[in-house]
Structure 1
Amino acid sequence: MAVATPPSWTTGTAPNSFAALPAGRLGTLGGRLMRLLNRAQQREIAHLLGPLTGLDVLEVGPGPGVLLGLLGRTARHVTAVEPSREMRALAIRAHAGAIADGRLEVRAGAAAATGLPDASVDVVVSVNTVAIWPDLDAGVEELRRVLRPGGWLILSWHGGERPSRASRPLLLREELLQRIEDALRARFPDVRRTATRRCTVFEARDTAG
């Protein structure tokens, strides 16, 4: 018996199997389309992060792996946790060389269940996944757990100063954006919300360390 996909905390309905939580042949097609449609957002977040020299990074929900490649250019090691089997396959295929070299790992997992040890990464980043998590608080709690002292969490969602036409139906109401900010403030001493051209970005830092 197939396991039902849990509803997202923002909508109360299960994410679709095309682009939100890709599954099957349709999901693979959706993942390939995401490579094109979300590339600009991924680049903006990579620019925001800057060089990650000597740092261990976790990406939650990498999809087909566009940002993974950008993170892997400077990070010491990148781990990706992805609940979609189809997206894991695309990401692994795209980064086979880095995986073989031991610089990158793609594994099954989700925001609330990364499978990583406590305090094991310096940076956690997730682009366009936070609104489809089943449990916002459980996800933030887990990502706080795996961060080292002084760590940095970046959660990004569609929006920004000039959202694309394709992303406009996905924009979150202010009350939902505020819920994300509140969940972060309950666990991190330093939280801010900013905007790039295409992204609404939440940054949380543990100032200890």
Structure 2
Amino acid sequence: MAKLLEHVLDAFFGHPRGLPGRIGGAIMARGNAEQEREAIERLAPSAGHHLLVVGHGPGVGLALAADRVGPTGQVIGVDPSATMRQLAAERCTAAVAAGVVDIRDGSAEHTGCADQSIDAVVSVNNVMLWDRQAGLAEAYRVLRPHGQLTITVHRHVLNTSPQQLTDDVERAGFVDVSLHVRPRRMNSPAVDLVARRAVPPVDQRAQPDRRKQRSQYEPGVPRTACAAHSESHPPPGEPAAVRCGRIRRCQPGTRHIFACEGSGRWKYLTV
């Protein structure tokens, strides 16, 4: 009897499919809405960010994230259930048409995202379905340095202890791991975990030799302000960091080159 019940419920919630899957999706959209909102608010994504939603289900979290990242960002959703992908596409029709939401056939273990291309990974009530070691390794691979992993799950469906989940996340290489078991009315506690991908240490030996850099440029020859963007030269004596408004968005190691007119010198700043 227990096996039969498990099989029936799997079609609704575990691996949603067909009419039972659509019914399960409607239940999940209502029952998981609070956790979806909590997860996106905790992340607080900014315009232009790239998010990955693992096991997006009926797409509530996709829609919330799309509103945050705006037309310059992207929200990628992966789910192995064709029924859930269809429900999510119906919920996010405009965002999909605009290219902000990209819904893919995938899983926690196989997202199809490029290395270090994602600012945050979100999972709501599906980590118990992962191969955790492989899923966490995949999340670490696709996250940018200092990118955030957010997992939230009903305590009654989590198939391990909260402490073991924390240990698994740390073992995968994540840092700043925090876990909170949040009591709720009319439901079991929510297990909320947040972690970040580690920032690789700077190898001082790999830093460029500034003396060699200076020898490559001659005073008075116009240059762009940095290797990645076209910026105007600063007036004499103005700090380079003030003039290049995009410095914070450059890739680590980007070299910025500034001409100080009239001084016959170049200023360099590497971020």
TM-score range, shorter-chain basis?
0.7 to 0.9
Match of 2:95 among 93, 98, 103: 98
1:176 is aligned to 161
Does the 8 A contact of 2:127 with 2:158 survive in 1? Answer: no
1:191 is aligned to 177
Deviations 1:95-119 (A, max 9, x none): 1111111111000000001011111
* Whole-angstrom CA distance in 1 between matches of 2:158 and 2:102: 31
Does the 8 A contact of 1:44 with 1:196 survive in 2? Answer: no
* Whole-angstrom CA distance in 1 between matches of 2:163 and 2:182: 18
Deviations 1:37-87 (A, max 9, x none): 111121121221224322100000010001111111112110000110000
Q: How many residues align?
A: 185
SS in 2 for 1:201: strand
Between stretches 138-147 and 17-26, larger displacement belongs to 17-26
Q: Does 2:137 correspond to 1:141?
A: yes
Between stretches 39-48 and 64-73, larger displacement belongs to 39-48
CA deviation after TM superposition for structure 1 residue 171, in Å: 4.4
Q: Matches of residues 1-209 of structure 1 in structure 2 within 5 Å?
A: 16-75=10-69, 76-133=73-130, 135-159=131-155, 170-172=156-158, 176-186=161-171, 187-196=173-182, 198=184, 199-208=190-199
Sequence identity, in percent? Answer: 38
* Whole-angstrom CA distance in 1 between matches of 2:163 and 2:16: 27
SS in 1 for 2:46: coil
Letter in 2 for 1:45: A
Letter in 1 for 2:193: F
Does the 8 A contact of 1:52 with 1:71 survive in 2? Answer: no
CA deviation after TM superposition for structure 1 residue 120, in Å: 1.0
Higher relative contact order, structure no. (Cα contacts within 8 Å, ≥ 6 residues apart): 1
Letter in 2 for 1:178: Q
Does the 8 A contact of 2:177 with 2:196 survive in 1? Answer: yes
Does the 8 A contact of 2:152 with 2:193 survive in 1? Answer: yes
Letter in 1 for 2:143: L
* Whole-angstrom CA distance in 2 between matches of 1:171 and 1:81: 21
Does the 8 A contact of 2:117 with 2:144 survive in 1? Answer: yes
Between stretches 123-132 and 45-54, larger displacement belongs to 45-54
Deviations 1:119-144 (A, max 9, x none): 110100010010121x1100100111
* Whole-angstrom CA distance in 1 between matches of 2:15 and 2:90: 19
Q: What is the TM-score of this pair, normalised by structure 2?
A: 0.64
* Whole-angstrom CA distance in 2 between matches of 1:129 and 1:110: 10
SS in 2 for 1:119: coil
* Whole-angstrom CA distance in 1 between matches of 2:125 and 2:42: 15
Does the 8 A contact of 1:157 with 1:201 survive in 2? Answer: yes
Following TM superposition, where does structure 1 have runs of at least 4 consecutive aligned residues deviating by more than 6 angstroms? Answer: none
1:164 is aligned to none
SS in 1 for 2:48: coil
Q: Which has the larger radius of gyration?
A: 2
* Whole-angstrom CA distance in 2 between matches of 1:206 and 1:172: 23
Letter in 2 for 1:97: A
Structure 1 residues not aligned, in runs of 5+: 1-12, 160-169
CA deviation after TM superposition for structure 1 residue 31, in Å: 0.4
Question: Could you say what the CA RMSD is over the residues aligned between the two structures, in angstroms?
Answer: 2.0
Letter in 1 for 2:56: P
Q: What is the TM-score of this pair, normalised by structure 1?
A: 0.82
Does the 8 A contact of 2:50 with 2:118 survive in 1? Answer: yes
CA deviation after TM superposition for structure 1 residue 197, in Å: 5.0
1:165 is aligned to none
1:3 is aligned to none
Letter in 2 for 1:206: R
Letter in 2 for 1:193: L
